[in-house]
Structure 1
Amino acid sequence: MSDVPASLTTGEIIRHLRERRGLTRPVLAGLVGYSADWLKRIEAGQRGISIPALIRIARVLHVDDLSTLIDGDRPLPVSAWEGPDHPVATAVRQIAGINTFAPADRETEPDVVALAAGVDQAWRDWHTLPDNHTTVARALPELITALEQATVVLDAGQRRLAHASLAGAYGLAQHLAVDMVEPELGRVIAGRAARAAHAADDPVSLAFGAWTYGHVLRSVDADTALRIVAEAAAELERHMAGDPDAMCLFGSLNLHMAISAAYQGQSGSAWGFWDVANATVRRLPSGYYHPQTVFGAENVAIHGVSIAAELRRAGEAIGRAERIDPQAVPSRERRGRLFGEIAAGHMQRREYDAALHFLRMSYMTSPEEVPFAPLTRGVAVELVRNATGSLKAEAVSLASEIGILPSV
């Protein structure tokens, strides 16, 4: 938009366009699914803003090019991040809508051990299968419904086990919901994960609940998310001696705080939290990783890439990524995201051939993630728009295969 004053920050541009359209701060915040205080802090430059949130604001303000809002030097069409309805959307909405006012079935006692094993298997599927979204979406609604029933009819310790498994199931459901531009669904699911974790009443479940809840809350209120996660980490630290899973969750909470700090441009804090996580991973048995968060040596290294990328240090991000052996990463989903982050780093440096190579690796590794993740969608569209010659033809072919082919 040519009438946007020059030299404004992203927050100032949003405020200018909001006022020009005659929208109050509470109205705009409500339309994009966040609080007025969240928007006030963005407009004042007191916090950063994620791409999904920026897209929602752009839609309401009728902005077609994100570079208008972030003062970019190249076009970033909103269409780069828009896509067809996510194939697991129905399952996520079904999970968010699981409520029943009928009496629980007390004729058959639930097999909570089998249900817990089902949740564990769903997490393994998430981290190991190329069709992880489809497979997990097929299993979770029934598992969650059964576990909700189990928390009503079982007694004492069995009930707590059901709540712990339910927290894990809702945590996985939140992973399904993360790339859907429907923030209310993620909040409902994360809130239920937190409720189940509290009912389980054990330090590890509570820490996992905080980890899940913090991912959703971070985009709305980063300071509160950081406080909740920090409190959970401090409490868990008192109970983690000799417990590898507790140590892993403690490390995961610190990685969560590291990314939150990097997201707000707090370099020192980000690397400080990362250092704690890195020290924690050295205390684990060799080769051990957490089955849900996949916290382990490789995941800590990958978060170093993410932190550098969030701090706009593309060269450092790529350098860190090159020191990671992708085949040593125990999660296929996380490997795909790593390749996507490397592609984005090369894209920032306009190294289009390398960006295309790693985008293809990302898609081959995690084919159900790439078409809907904002990061890889953006790389695909930028490649189609900016590559030339035979490289452009390859970019168009890959984008078409992925299902992302913008007008050029």
Structure 2
Amino acid sequence: MDLPTLGIGDRIRHHRRRANRRQAVLAGLCGISEDYLSQIERGERTPSGEVLIRIAAELGVHVAVLLGDPMVPAGTAAPPTADADVVGALLGTAPPAGPRPAALLRARVEEAWLIWQTSPERFTRIEPLLPDLVGAVGAAVRAPCAPADAAERREALRAAADLYGLLRSYCRRTGRVDLSLLCADRALRAAEDADDPLRIAAARWNLGQVLLARPGQEEAAREVALRAAENLDKECRGRSAAALRGALELIAALAEARTRRVWAARERLHRRVLPLAARTGEHNTLWTVFGPTNVSLHAVSIEMTDGDAAEGLRTADRIDPGRLPSRERRFTFALEVAACYHLRREDPAVLAHLLELEQLAPQDLLRSPLARELLLSLLRRARPLCRRQATDLAERLRMV
């Protein structure tokens, strides 16, 4: 995961300010001109090794700290990535688990999904559960099946489709987009083997989410989502099917916005998605969190993608994110509002939203590239009123 962090010049400026040193003073102590030090801090010049050593010595830090070495323990560790045991289970290197009753597996998968969508510590809470679940579900699916046990195997396949949908989200949020694609594929295969139209649609929604996260794959995401919505419309009726069709249409709308067809995305929201949301109300079919509130959140995303911060903020003002069952979606909404304020260069509002996000979902904030980009911009341009709080937050996120 390409998580932004501070460059050498930014780090020098950060530690100089922490040491309460003016540029002129530090430059004089290091035997360089104030202008040269200013250029280094702005990223226009790269200091020689000798100069860097002198600067580090005067600031009382190790040279590796200024270089951003992740092996340095002084708060410079890289943000966490996917848990090794989870990756091992997905790749088949973990010890095998014995099959368990499908009803028990379904209950455990639902419990894991509840943690994933609602807990502020969802990463550390979910990671100990996933390796055993992956092994147990895999064993249940692979177990020999007599004709009399067909219903049991179908339930195990449904549990597998739901679990791999969760793992798709987990892997994406921990920077393993490669494994996210693998999980989306496994979810689709399990749903197809279970012959479950709703889960097939949800699996294709998951695949669309993965493709949206891969630059250049937006059109593929749109095609996958619209084909799945068309197939679902032929096979299923009812509120749950309508909610899944709406979730798939949202994938298509985001894909259109990201390929500079914002007009098409807006039209899709108004003509296709909003009527479905009015029909379903707030719904969480197979953990897709579709409903009027989520549609409004996507409207904010589309305006932000188009660079229309004013319209994005006007839309955001009409939304009550507390109605959403997913903390992740509430986090994404607040982050996009912060991004809208960033476009308007309203730094105090950006900082306020980042601090709110730290309270809402600190582990998500730690792993969010966009949040770190916003904070990096604050550190570079914020006035002294915001800079202290921004610096403290950067330290808690291990950016400095």
2:173 corresponding residue in structure 1: 179
TM-score norm. by structure 2 comes to 0.75
Shift in Å, 1:137: 1.9
Match of 1:281 among 259, 277, 280: 277
Aligned residue pairs, count = 329
Question: 1:141 maps to which residue?
Answer: 131
1:124 aligned partner, one-letter code? L
Q: 1:132 aligns to what?
A: 122
| 1:47-78 alpha-carbon deviations (Å, 9 max, x no partner) | xxxxx7xx59x9xxxxx99xxxxxxxx99xxx
Structure 2: gaps of 5 or more residues = 11-41, 44-67, 69-75
Alignment of 1:196-207 (within 5 A): 196-207=190-201
Q: What is the aligned partner in structure 2 of residue 209 from structure 1?
A: 203
Q: Larger helix proportion, structure 1 or 2? A: 2
Match of 2:235 among 203, 221, 239: 239
Contact 1:317 1:345 in 2 (8 A): yes
Structure having the higher Rg:
2
* Distance in 1 separating the partners of 2:304 and 2:189: 33
Which stretch of structure 1 is more off in the superposition, 85-94 or 123-132?
A: 85-94
1:158 matched to 2:141? The reply is no
Which residue does the alignment assign to 2:110?
A: 120
Residue 158 of structure 1: how far off its partner (Å): 2.0
Is structure 2 residue 317 aligned with structure 1 residue 322?
Answer: yes
What RMSD over aligned residues (CA atoms) do the two structures have, in Å? 2.8
Query: Any conservation in 2 of the 1:252–1:295 contact (CA below 8 Å)?
Result: yes
User: Offset at 1:250?
Assistant: 1.0
1:384 touches 1:395 (CA, 8 Å); kept in 2? Answer: yes
- Equivalence for 1:228: 224
| Aligned residues of 2:282 and 2:293 also touching (Cα < 8 A) | no
Matches within 5 A, 1:3-402: 84-98=78-92, 110-153=100-143, 154=145, 155-218=149-212, 219=214, 221-242=217-238, 244-275=239-270, 276-284=272-280, 286-290=281-285, 292-402=287-397
Per-residue deviation, 1:100: 8.4
Q: How far is 1:85 from its partner?
A: 4.7
Following superposition, the deviation at residue 329 of structure 1 comes to 2.2
| 5+ long unaligned stretches in structure 1 | 1-51, 59-63, 66-73
Q: Is the alpha carbon distance of 1:185 and 1:288 closer, same or farther for their aligned partners in structure 2, counting shifts above 3 Å? A: closer
Q: Deviations over 1:126-146 (max 9, x none)?
A: 111110112122212211211
Normalising by the residue count of structure 1, what TM-score does the alignment of the two structures yield?
Answer: 0.74
Distance in 2, matches of 1:263 and 1:138, equals 36
Letter of the 2:230 counterpart: A
**Cα 1:190–1:388 shift into 2, 3 Å:** same
CA distance in 1, matches of 2:153, 2:209: 26
Q: Percent identity?
A: 30
Question: Which deviates the most, 180-189 or 252-261?
Answer: 180-189
2:338/2:349 contact within 8 Å kept: yes
**CA deviation after TM superposition for structure 1 residue 291, in Å:** 5.2
Maintained 8 Å contact 1:336/1:363: no
SS state of the match for residue 370, structure 1? Answer: helix
